[in-house]
Every structure is written in structure tokens, then in C-alpha cells.
Structure 1
Amino acid sequence: MNDATVQAPKGWKAVPLADLASFRTGPFGSTFHKSDYRNGGVPLINPSHIIDGEIVPDEQVAVAPDLASRLSVFALRENDIVIGRRGDMGRCAVVRSHQAGFLCGTGSMIVRPRPGVSPELLQAFLASPKVIAKIEENSVGTTMINLNQGTLSALEILLPGSEHRQQAIAAALSDADGVVAGLERVIAKKRLIKQGAMQDLLTARRRLPGFSGEWEVKRLGSLGVCLRGVSYDGSADLFETETPDSIMLLRANNVQNGEIVYSDVQHVRKERVKPVQCLKRGDVLVCMANGSRTLVGKAGVFWDGDGPAYTFGAFMGCFRPAAGAAADGYVPFLFQSDEYRNQLNVILSGSAINNLAPSQILGFSFKMPVDHSEQQAIAAVLSDMDAEIQTLGSRLTKARAVKEGMMQILLTGRVRLV
């Protein structure tokens, strides 16, 4: 790959990535068996866990610590760069100190900067659109592009000729990363606080002031319905971009850590979608089937009912609360509770098939306040916590956008710090 990816500004030079980093491809898919995965173990980082340049692990995609120890050669270190090597080449992120020890997944690769090389600088180059296009052009594969070490080694990175300038750019990007990382830590802490409050309030372990009424056991089948997702022909009915005849489609990858992520959304032909399959505010999306058992049952609440129309895929389910059966907004929180996970694990442990039937979801039961006003009060407390987390999430999105803008001007030489 002799040509530089972009025109070099005066005083800059093209350097092969092999001179700046070493590489390690993630383990083969056969390394892991279904029984190896568990909730809350050592996270595996695959391309789907790299979102907006940051590592976002899924607690349900993890392996036991003893297995992780045997696979320590694939353990991520602080300041490594983990990059997707299958399909979407635009996903790469710097490993932070609290993420050291996570495992590189089968669909990823480790780029390990050599001493003195800024990981933020390398990650910024690898995430730039022109470099991504060059990587895709030189990668192998037909149905799915695969990135290999040879392609990365030959890739030429543009750097300022002055080490002082390199350090100035790296420091500026590091400061921007610090703002992003700080917000991420606050959000993680708020989520833990919410999780603790949720487990207390949804089990009557702690009662809100003014409430002392009875609780009763309710089946989800008495609180709503469970719908199956849209069936479609992947080659004829799916579109990467919106068309006049399509509707946005949410799939398992759009449910992350109990929330719905609206990146990497597909579009499906409208005629395939029944009216009842159009999502409504307060619907709970559930992954009903997946090759990985740890992903089955993960759920996220759809709160965007006033925006664009969305539907959900064939391997997903939708629990739709019935009007008046419970206080508005209460039932969705049950899908985030320990009791939900416990009942899910009982079902999955007794089956050799990694899927759920709507009837099984409807059979889940939970202890709930009889008084709807207490349900409403609990939902209000948890919703306020969600709102605070969403506000912080908006600040995080803006901070990432500022960092992206800095990358565009600093890594092309359009603005020089020194």
C-alpha cells in the first residue's frame, strides 16, 4: 500500500503502521462453546461492542474467569486499540484502564502501539473515513470483508514530522478523551445506583414513604401480550438506507445493556410489516432467539413512540403492556430486574434450543403492589433516574462530536497547535 491515504501536508510524513504498532488477531470461533458464555463474566469485545469509538461491553457476552485466564494472550491491555476485522471496518476504540483484562473477541483484532506512540492518534487515523475506505479496498472476502494483519501492516499513517507536534495533537485528543471518559464513568455509576434502587423497589425490600399496602403475584400474561417480529427475505426486503417503501427495523444488536441503541439500523419493506408490529411507546423489545444463549432474553424499552416509525425483526419479540393492567411505565422495569433474569435462566438451562416462545414470556410472574398509585410512584422514581442518565448521555454524545471535530482538523494539518 504505497500511496498515502490522504495528501500529506507540508512537514508531515507517511509511516507504515507496522512501524508504529504490533498486531494480534482474535481467537478462532471454535475457541468458545455455548457452555463457556455466562452473564457477568469477563467481557468479550466484538465489533458490535464498539460504538461511536468507545468500548461498550455487554454483560451477557462474557466468559468465565478461568477460561479468560487460559486465553490471556488475547487479553486487552490499557492503551491497546481494538478494531473490528469482519464486516464493519469503521469500529475501533482505545482500551481504557478499567477495560484492561477484557478479551478480544473472535471478530476483532488488537493493535498494540509501540512505546512512545499515542494510541489516541492511531485510533483517530484508523477511524477516519478515508483510512476506512483504504482498509476495505485492501481487505479480503466477498460476502463479508475480513481485515488481516498484512493489510494493517502495510497501511500508511500520516504523522507530523515533528515529534513535538505529534505530542501536542495526542495531548489535545487525550484531553478530549478525558472528558468523554469522565462522563462515561458518571453514567456507569448512575446505572449502578439505578440498578440497586430497582432491585429494592421492585421486590418491596424498600417501600416508598406513604405506602404500606399488599403486594400480589401477577403473570405477564395478565398484563399484556407478546408479539413476534417481522419475517422477511434478507436479500429482497432489507435496505441499508431509508426508502419510500421501507420502515426502520430493530434487531438484537440494537439492544445493549438494557437500552435500545439506534445505530446500525436496517430498513425493511413496509408491506412485510403488519400494523400490530409497529412499535409503540412503552413496548419492551426482547431477543427471542440467538446463536449465543447469553443473548437470548436481553430486553430494552422502546420510549420513542412519538418519533419515526420502527418495527422489529423475526428473532425479536415485543411485550406490549395492556392499558390499565398496571400503572403506566411500571411493567417495562420488570424486564430489567433480577427476578426476570432468574426466571429466564431457569427456562434456558432446561432447553437445548436457544430461543424463547411468546408463551414462555407471558408465563413469567412477578410480585407487584396491588395499589396502582404505588406502582406509579415506583415507576416515577426509576424514570427520573433514567432521565438523568439520558441527559448525561446527551452530554456524552456532544463530547464525542467535539472530539470527532478535533480529529478532522488536527489530523489533516488544517489546524496546527504548534
Structure 2
Amino acid sequence: MIYWQEVQLHDAARTDAPIGYGIVQPGPYVRNGIPVVAIRDLPTPSLQNIHRSAPSVEASYRRSRVTGNDVLISVKGTTGRVGIVPVGFMGNISRDVARLRLRDEHEPAYWFQMLQSPQAQRTLQQAAVGSTRQELSIGTLKTLSFCCPSRQGQERISAVLSDADQLIEALKQLIVKKQAIKQGMMQDLLTAKTRLPGFNASWRTLEAGDIGTFKGGSGFPIRYQGSVSGRFPFFKVSDMNNSGNELFMSKANNYISDGQRKRMGAVVMPRGAIVFAKVGAAVFLERKRILAQSSCIDNNMAAFILDNSSADVRFVHHVLTNFPLGSLVATGALPSLNGRQLRSIPLTIPADLNEQRAIAAALDDVDNEIGILRQRLTKARDVKHGMMQQLLTGRTRLPVEEGAA
């Protein structure tokens, strides 16, 4: 029978290795020193790129040693981050991390998963004190109670959640691989290093001002803001963060009527214009979007309106995605872009409009594949979150194998 009970961390820890802070303050990097796990190394410390302290330092801090399957909890600054030490890893922990070495009746992988659950995170956050820099004391940490089943139940639950983690990690790695493939394609296709079959026309080297015009946005008085419907969406820089606006700007937080537009003198940017931030730190975020319909934009943004007879918007958008607008910003109090700088952006494009479209379509196909993978990743994360809500609270019980104790 698999039973559930409330267990204090103090009772879950081994008596020969009680819960405790790390006490190592890493000194200068030492190539062949002792690994020191800090908050930045969670959730899974790796021997690669980890800070190391001198062996002489490690000898003084034996109490902060960690070894395989120790569960780690950040207790200062960013409290509540959880990690687990890989088997075969030996080192120390910094003073911002606490170590939990579990008794034999507890499964480390389960506690690693359980302490990341929303319920456990709320418990950890509520126990932390401090306004500017939070801290979770060892005394408090020891008294915290968490719900867990018997060892058999812990093993079964952690196995299921670990499978979900493996799927999530596999999708993340596949996205990284696809992004690398796309980057290589862009470097080849957007420079004519590789030509698509059936195209051999020459390419032109010109400036952005030769194929379109740049227009700044309009002021947006507060009295006209807040409407959720109207003739024109009125986009702000923050609207680039809206879900669904990752490429085409289609969802605005503000809309205006044509009468309002005329009264405020706002300029309408046409469908297909490429928009981006032109003032402030947002310039360095390098976000370029395409308007899905005729729209207004605020005066912290600008639009690149193309001559559709000589340039394909998706091709040019791919080119601009590779061009850092932040490199045009002059050193000053407020980052900004001006029309002269924007018009002088160098471009190399096929003279044949059909080749531009074909290149854009090839890159779009990869973008679509990446988008599908991201959707799968989001779904996998949501599924795991739901599994944690059910399995780590006992609401849903996994079947017990026949003959299990």
C-alpha cells in the first residue's frame, strides 16, 4: 500500500548530514580547483563552466560538501530555486545554497520534483523573510512540512515526471538545432552564397532608402487610450510582447476610430509595413514585426514601408532580422534612431522579385517548423504542470503494481 504523510525537512534529512547552508565564499577562479555550486548552477550542476575554489579553501569547508543525489535549495537572494546533484559529482556549495541529503526511505528525484511544484514553492516563498534581499533560514527550513507518499510512490511519481522532463529537454534541444539550421540558411541564402534552383539573375547592393521609406509614429494622448475596439489598432512598443504578435502585429491593447485619428493627427501605416522600436532601451531588443493591417504606431516606434514592386516584405524582414539596429545608436543619454541612419542600412537583394519570395518561403518553412516545436514545448510544459498538480498532491494516484508492498 502506498501511503501519504506530511514530512518535515528535518525528519527527511539524514542525521549524519543535517540540512545546512553552504559556507564557501568562492575566491578567484582556479582551473583545477574544487567545484562550488552556486544559485546560477541550479537546477543541475555540471562540471563544465562551474566556479572552482582552491583545494586549500575546500579543506576548510567540509561541512558544505555535496555529492550525488543531494537536493539543493537556494536560500538567499533568489530563494526557492531547486537543484539536484548529479551522481558522480563532488564539490561544495556556496553560502546562498542549502543542502538536503535524504534518508534512505526518501527518493531524491521525487523531492527534486516536489520542491519545484507550485504548492511547495508557495511554502518556500512564504517562509522567506526580507524585503530587498530575501533569506530562508536553516531553522525555518527544517520546520517546513511537505506531503509525500512512501518510497515506492515517490519512485513511481518521479519516474513519470522525469520522463516529462526528458521530453521537454528533447524539444528544447531540437528547437536549438532548428534555429542553428535557420541561421546557416540565412547566412547562405541572404548573401547569395547559395542560390535556389532556377534563379540566376544578378543581385543588387543598395541602401534601405532605395526600396522604401521610413516613417516615425505619432503621439498618443492618454485621453484616447483604453478602447478595445475601433477602426485602427494603435500599437505601442509593449504590444510587441503580446501573444500572437511574435511576427505579425495583429493584437493591440488600444484601438481608435478614424475620427479620433484625425483629431490627434496620427499617421496610418499600411498593412505589410515593418515596425520596430526607435527610441529607448527597446531598440536593443532588436524586435522587428510586420503590420497585419493598416495601423497607427506611437512615437517610440517607426515603420519601414516598402516599394512592393521591387522588394518582398518577408525577404526584407528576414534581412533586417539579421541586421542589429542597435549598432546605429550613437552614445548618448537616450538611445534613438533617426531617418538618415535607417535609410543608409546596407542591403543586398536579388533583382528578381520571385527569387526574393522563394528565399523568404524557404526561411518561413523553417520558422513554421520552429513555431510548431515551440507549441509542442509549451504543451509539454503545461502537461507536466498539470501532472505535478495531480501527482504531487495525491489527487491522482498511480496504479500499484501487483504484489507491491
TM surpasses 0.5: yes
1:181 aligned to 2:195? Answer: no
Displacement, 1:122? 3.9
Structure 2 match to 1:299 = 286
Q: Give the match for residue 306 of structure 2.
A: 322
Q: From the CA coordinates, give the structure whose radius of gyration is larger.
A: 2
Aligned counterparts of 1:167 and 1:179: Cα–Cα separation in 2: 19
Conserved 8 A contact 1:219-1:366: yes
Q: Distance in 1 between matches of 2:395 and 2:162?
A: 19
2:321 is the alignment partner of 1:332? no
Q: Is the 8 A contact 1:287 1:299 kept in 2?
A: no
Give the C-alpha shift of residue 148 in structure 1. Answer: 2.8
Q: Residue 218 of structure 2 contacts residue 266 of structure 2 at CA under 8 Å; is this kept in 1?
A: no
Alpha-carbon RMSD across the aligned residues, in angstroms, is 5.7
Gaps of 5+ in 2: 14-18, 26-38, 59-67, 87-95, 401-405
Q: TM-score, normalised by structure 2?
A: 0.61
Change (3 A) 1:229 1:285: farther
Contact 1:216 1:370 in 2 (8 A): yes
Number of aligned positions between the proteins: 337
**Aligned equivalent of 2:30:** none
Give 2:276's match in structure 1, choosing from 266, 285, 297.
285
Alignment of 1:233-248 (within 5 A): none
Q: C-alpha distance in 2, partners of 1:370/1:401?
A: 46
CA displacement, residues 212-251 of structure 1 (integer Å, 9 cap, x when unaligned): 2222223233434254587789xx9999xx9889988653
Compared CA separation, residues 172 and 352, structure 1 to 2 (3 A): same
Residue deviations 1:260-286 (CA, integer Å, cap 9, x gap): 499xx9967979998658996663434
* Equivalent of 2:204 in 188, 194, 216: 216
Residue of structure 2 in register with 1:403 after alignment: 384
| Whole-Å separation in 1 of the counterparts to 2:133 and 2:252 | 21
Q: Deviations over 1:284-325 (max 9, x none)?
A: 4347533xxxx753323436838xx999887x6344443515
Match of residue 413, structure 1, among 372, 382, 394? 394
| Aligned partner letter, 2:345 | F
Letter in 1 for 2:331: S
3-state SS in 1 of match to 2:287: strand
Once residues 96 and 333 of structure 1 are traced to their aligned partners in structure 2, the CA distance between those partners, rounded to angstroms, is 42
CA distance in 1, matches of 2:353, 2:142: 64
Name the SS of the counterpart of 2:193 in structure 1: coil
Q: 2:368 aligns with which of 387, 392, 397?
A: 387
**Pair 1:148–1:81, CA change in 2 (3 A):** closer
Q: Do the aligned residues in 1 keep the contact of 2:275 with 2:291 (CA within 8 Å)? A: no
Shift of 1:200: 0.8
Distance 1:333 1:216 in 2: 16
Residues 16-27 of structure 1: pairs in structure 2 closer than 5 A: 16=9
**Judging changes above 3 Å, is the alpha-carbon distance between structure 1 residues 318 and 12 closer, same or farther for their aligned structure 2 residues?**
farther
- Residue 355 of structure 1: SS of its match in structure 2? coil
Partner of 2:349: 368
- Correspondence for 1:355 among 325, 330, 335: 335
Structure 2 counterpart of 1:135, from 94, 102, 125? 125
Cα drift, residue 137 of structure 1: 8.2
> Does the 8 Å CA contact 1:94/1:123 hold for their aligned counterparts?
no
Work out the CA distance in 2 between the residues paired with 1:403 and 1:218: 50
Q: 1:41-80 counterparts in 2 under 5 A? A: none
Q: Check conservation: 1:202, 1:334, Cα contact below 8 A.
A: yes
Please, which moves more after superposition, 326-335 or 353-362?
A: 353-362
Residue 172 of structure 1: which of 160, 167, 178 is its match?
A: 160
In structure 2, the partner of 1:12 is 5
Change (3 A) 1:390 1:153: same
SS of the residue 1:191 aligns to:
helix
SS of 1:297 mapped into structure 2: helix
Shift of 1:181: 0.9
CA distance in 2, matches of 1:199, 1:95: 40
Give the conservation status (yes or no) of the 8 Å contact 1:251–1:313.
no
